[in-house]
């Protein structure tokens, strides 16, 4: 079979017509090279040129598949001591509403002990969130060192005033990046799962919330190797069944003379620090194991300040193209980049984005 050998200008014209012309299917580079060869054309660097041409195609880039592999290794958040770092989030628009009209659950979790605080609301504002932080966290467990939340409007204004007053470091996750506050997201899922099995009429979930919290606090957590209750109080909670059935613990405690109760409790509290140190070691080992498994999926996506990138389109964005809406928007310039993977973008007209974007939602744009 004879093929016509093309010069550079003719090769560019053929690639453009076959790839994106009237009958161009916007195929990948290797398939484009094979189709051009079947059409009867050839040049020495055809396959490499076809791959680079497809890589630079604007339509192929903005309609490209979403990237599901992480671009960097896992950065685990840790807490040095109990009640130092809290994550906070909202389970919102619960349907149906509870019998008292509540449709929001505000959830907070301590990153060390995995102790959870939660409350339900009919209407939730930043003032309500600030009041929750003050009454459920600060007044019960002291002023935390750090608070982690998303960038929702509920965590602004009054919350900003509160954290400034008490010198609390407020860390906000990037948009559409729930992994940053993974502990509270996992707690949300578990609380919803427990409530789903507890409710009887589907509208009594707000009355069942305290029991769901009790169930969560007294359940074994894989990451710490202990229950949240034991890491906070130094002993396991007394369950109703132990009173009804008379467990071994109840029997042993009944044999302790009243004069020896203070010493017995003192001995329990002396073991609390040891229990917490074991939990901290368990957390570090668990995080190393998770990081090792996560690392196997990492595909580096090196980006630098000044690079042109596309940003993934997420959320309920109204677009007249409907089903034919692109998966990516842009291009944008990276104007600032942190080692943790947060990037601040700027469009081609010089307009700056106020909120950061995580690099796992970006990909390089080729021109």
Domain count along the chain:
3
Same domain, 28 and 98: no
- Is 177 in the same domain as 325? no
Last residue of a domain, one of 56, 77, 97: 56
Q: What is the pLDDT of residue 145?
A: 93
Express as a percent the part of the chain with pLDDT over 90.
Answer: 37
Give the per-residue pLDDT at 322: 72
Q: Give the pLDDT score at 227.
A: 93
The answer to the question of residue 352 being in a domain is: yes
User: To the nearest whole number, what is the mean pLDDT of the chain?
Assistant: 86
Residues 6+ apart with CB under 8 A from 186: none
pLDDT for res 311: 92
Does residue 255 carry a pLDDT above 80? no
For residue 218, the model assigns a pLDDT of: 92
Confidence of residue 339 (pLDDT cuts 50, 70, 90): confident
Same domain, 95 and 225: yes
Per-residue pLDDT band at 262 (split at 50, 70, 90) = confident
For 81-120, what is each residue's pLDDT tens digit? 899 999 999 888 888 888 888 989 999 999 999 999 999 9
Domain boundary among 272, 295, 318: 295
Where helices occur in the chain by DSSP H, the ranges are 8-20, 29-39, 46-56, 58-62, 126-132, 139-141, 158-165, 182-198, 205-217, 228-233, 240-245, 248-254, 261-270, 272-295
User: Residue 159: which CATH number?
Assistant: 3.30.420.10
Tokens of 34: 């094979």
Closest Cα to residue 358, out of 69, 61, 71? 71
* Residue 325 forms part of a structural domain: yes
What is the reported pLDDT for 309?
93
Range of the domain at 42: 4-56
pTM for this prediction: 0.78
151 and 282 share a domain? yes
Is residue 135 situated within a structural domain? yes
Per-residue model confidence as pLDDT tens digits over 289-315: 888 888 888 888 889 999 999 999 876
Residues 27 and 134 both lie in one domain: no
130 and 219, same domain (yes or no): yes
Both 218 and 336 in one domain: the answer is no
Determine, yes or no, domain membership for 45: yes
Domain boundary among 252, 269, 295: 295
In this structure, the answer to whether residues 41 and 188 fall within a common structural domain is no
Token digits of residue 142: 């002291």
pLDDT 10s digits, 120-142 = 998 989 999 999 999 999 999 99
pLDDT score of 286 more than 90: no
Burial environment of residue 93 by CB neighbours within 10 A (0 to 12, 13 to 18, 19 or more) = exposed
Q: Is there a single domain that holds both residue 356 and residue 223?
A: no
Dump pLDDT digits (tens) for 137-174.
999 999 999 999 888 888 888 999 999 999 999 988 76
């Amino acid at each position: 079979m004879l093929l016509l050998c093309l010069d550079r200008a003719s090769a560019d014209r053929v690639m453009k017509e076959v790839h994106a012309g009237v009958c161009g299917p916007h195929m990948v580079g290797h398939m484009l090279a094979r189709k051009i060869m079947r059409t009867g054309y050839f040049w020495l660097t055809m396959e490499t040129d076809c791959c680079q041409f497809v890589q630079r195609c604007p339509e192929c880039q903005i309609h490209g598949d979403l990237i599901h592999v992480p671009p960097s290794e896992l950065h685990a958040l840790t807490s040095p001591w109990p009640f130092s770092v809290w994550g906070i989030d909202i389970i919102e628009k619960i349907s149906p509403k509870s019998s008292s009209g509540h449709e929001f659950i505000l959830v907070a979790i301590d990153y060390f002990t995995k102790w959870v605080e939660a409350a339900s609301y009919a209407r939730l504002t930043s003032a309500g969130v600030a009041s929750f932080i003050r009454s459920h966290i600060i007044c019960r467990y002291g002023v935390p060192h750090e608070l982690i939340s998303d960038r929702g409007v509920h965590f602004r204004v009054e919350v900003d005033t509160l954290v400034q007053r008490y010198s609390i470091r407020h860390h906000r996750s990037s948009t559409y990046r729930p992994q940053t506050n993974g502990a509270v997201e996992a707690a949300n899922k578990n609380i919803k799962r427990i409530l789903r099995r507890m409710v009887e009429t589907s509208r009594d979930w707000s009355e069942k919330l305290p029991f769901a919290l009790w169930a969560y606090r007294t359940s074994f957590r894989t990451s710490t190797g202990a229950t949240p209750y034991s890491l906070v109080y130094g002993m396991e909670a007394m369950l109703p069944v132990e009173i009804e059935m008379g467990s071994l613990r109840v029997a042993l405690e009944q044999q302790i003379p009243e004069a020896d109760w203070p010493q017995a409790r003192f001995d329990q509290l002396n073991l609390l620090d040891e229990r917490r140190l074991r939990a901290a070691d368990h957390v570090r080992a668990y995080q190393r194991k998770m990081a090792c498994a996560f690392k196997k999926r990492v595909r580096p996506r090196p980006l630098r300040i000044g690079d042109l990138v596309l940003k993934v389109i997420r959320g309920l964005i109204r677009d007249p193209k409907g089903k034919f809406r692109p998966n990516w928007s842009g291009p944008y310039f990276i104007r600032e980049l942190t080692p943790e993977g947060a990037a601040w973008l700027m469009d081609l007209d010089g307009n700056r984005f106020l909120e950061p974007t995580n690099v796992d939602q970006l990909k390089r744009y080729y021109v």
